[in-house]
Every structure is written in C-alpha cells, then in structure tokens.
C-alpha cells in the first residue's frame, strides 16, 4: 500500500469529539520516549505531521490523522513517564480506556516497545489491555538501528517471552532513523485491514 496523503484532523479527549464518519481506524500506542511520533512521521513520510515533544508524557490527547482520505491513524497518548502525577496517570487511563471501549471503527492497535530494553510492566499491561478489548495487535520494536543483528535476535526473544506472544502474533523491528523496511512495515500494518474494508463496501 502507498500512503499518498496524510493530514491532522482533530485532537480529542471525550468520545463526542471523535470523528463520526465511520472510517476504519488503526491506533498507535507506547511508552513516552518510545519514538511513536517519529515512527508515524516516518510511515507517512512527513517530517512534522506529528510534533515530537521534548517533554515525555506531555501529550494527553488522542490525535486523529486522515490517511489517503480513506482511513485514520490514531495517535494515543504515551504512558509510563515517571514524573507524571497519579492524577495525570488516571486521566491518561480514562482517556485511552474510553477510546478502546467499543470503538467499532478501530480494527488494529500497533504497540510500540523500545527494542533495547525488556518490555516494562506498563507495556505488558497495555498489551493485555488491547487483547482484553478484542483488538488485533502488532508489536513493533523501535530504534532497531541501535542494536546489532545478534542483539536484535536476543531482543526478539525477550519481547516475545515477556509479552507472551504466540506464533500467530506479529512482531516487527523498525528504525525511524534509517527507515529500512518502511514499505514492508506499511503493508504489514495497513494492507489487510484496508483491503477488507474495501471488500465490505463493494
């Protein structure tokens, strides 16, 4: 699949602020500093589609981006930043849970984990949360340019074991810096979901 156009549509906190046009949605979620903004910019080939915050944990909004005038990429707020207060963490949880609860337009969630580190308790919780709500999930290990091929193989095992991924679960590594495998990643994330939507509308 080729991404030709991408544009910011709206930032939302409440359900009534979400788009209501029933386009398919694919959401991205991960810890603060995992490189979520960078990977969305790399996928869309737009350097500043998503602002890369210098302050981890700052974003508390759900951002909707319209792709090819056809479907939405949804940027969920990052989690796990230690300096965020309990009140802010609760607010994040409510915002994300509201979005994940019964969102029929949402067809897949992309969970980003830093491939240099073992997935945290928050990552495990997020993965299980996605599964609990019944969404298809793809796990992407970010910042893969920082590891050698051998260490990437070790990271793959650690991520699979920690998140308890099955042979059917999808795990992919990507670097927003060198963008190697970008086209394959786009196909992995979007192709079957977008194609199935097209088939349904025939």
61-117, pLDDT tens digit by residue?
A: 899 999 999 999 999 988 876 566 677 777 777 888 899 988 999 999 999 999 999
Domain count, the chain: 1
pLDDT tens-digit series, residues 132-168 = 989 999 999 999 999 999 999 999 999 999 999 988 8
Check whether 193 has a pLDDT greater than 60: yes
Q: In sequence order, which residues have a C-beta less than 8 Å from that of residue 8 and are 6 or more positions away?
A: 49, 63, 64, 65
In a domain, 155, yes or no: yes
Check whether 53 has a pLDDT greater than 60: no
Question: What would the two tokens of residue 108 be?
Answer: 């897949």
In the chain, pLDDT over 90 holds for what percent of residues?
63
If you ran DSSP here, which 8-state letter would residue 76 be given? P
Residues 9-33: what's their mean pLDDT?
93
In a domain, 58, yes or no: yes
Domain of 125 in residue numbering reads as: 6-200
Q: Which helix (H) or strand (E) holds 154?
A: helix 149-163
| Chain centroid to CA 39 | 9
The pLDDT, as a whole number, for residue 39 is 93
Q: Residue 72 maps to which CATH number?
A: 3.40.50.300
In a domain, 1, yes or no: no
Residues 115-128: what's their mean pLDDT?
95
Residues listed for the chain: 202
Question: What would the two tokens of residue 40 be?
Answer: 């969305």
Residues 24-53: what's their mean pLDDT?
87
The pLDDT, as a whole number, for residue 202 is 45
The pLDDT, as a whole number, for residue 60 is 75
In a domain, 11, yes or no: yes
- Phi/psi class of residue 7: alpha, beta or left (left: φ > 0; alpha: ψ in -120 to 50)? beta
Question: What would the two tokens of residue 183 be?
Answer: 């086209």
pLDDT confidence band for 198 (50 / 70 / 90):
very low
The pLDDT, as a whole number, for residue 108 is 96
């Amino acid at each position: 699949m080729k991404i030709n156009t991408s544009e910011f549509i709206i930032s939302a906190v409440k359900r009534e602020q979400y788009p209501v046009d029933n386009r398919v949605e694919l959401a991205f979620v991960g810890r603060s500093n995992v490189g979520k903004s960078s990977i969305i910019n790399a996928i869309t080939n737009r350097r500043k589609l998503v602002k890369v915050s210098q302050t981890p944990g700052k974003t508390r909004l759900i951002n909707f981006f319209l792709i090819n005038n056809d479907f939405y990429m949804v940027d969920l707020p990052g989690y796990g930043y230690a300096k965020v207060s309990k009140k802010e963490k609760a607010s994040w949880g409510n915002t994300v849970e509201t979005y994940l609860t019964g969102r029929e337009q949402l067809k897949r969630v992309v969970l980003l984990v830093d491939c240099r580190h073992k997935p945290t308790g928050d990552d495990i919780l997020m993965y299980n949360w996605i599964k609990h709500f019944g969404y298809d999930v793809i796990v992407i290990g970010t910042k893969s340019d920082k590891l050698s091929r051998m260490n990437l193989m070790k990271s793959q095992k650690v991520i699979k074991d920690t998140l308890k991924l099955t042979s059917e679960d999808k795990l992919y590594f990507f670097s927003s810096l060198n963008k190697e495998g970008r086209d394959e990643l786009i196909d992995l994330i979007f192709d079957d979901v977008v194609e199935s939507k097209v088939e349904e509308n025939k």
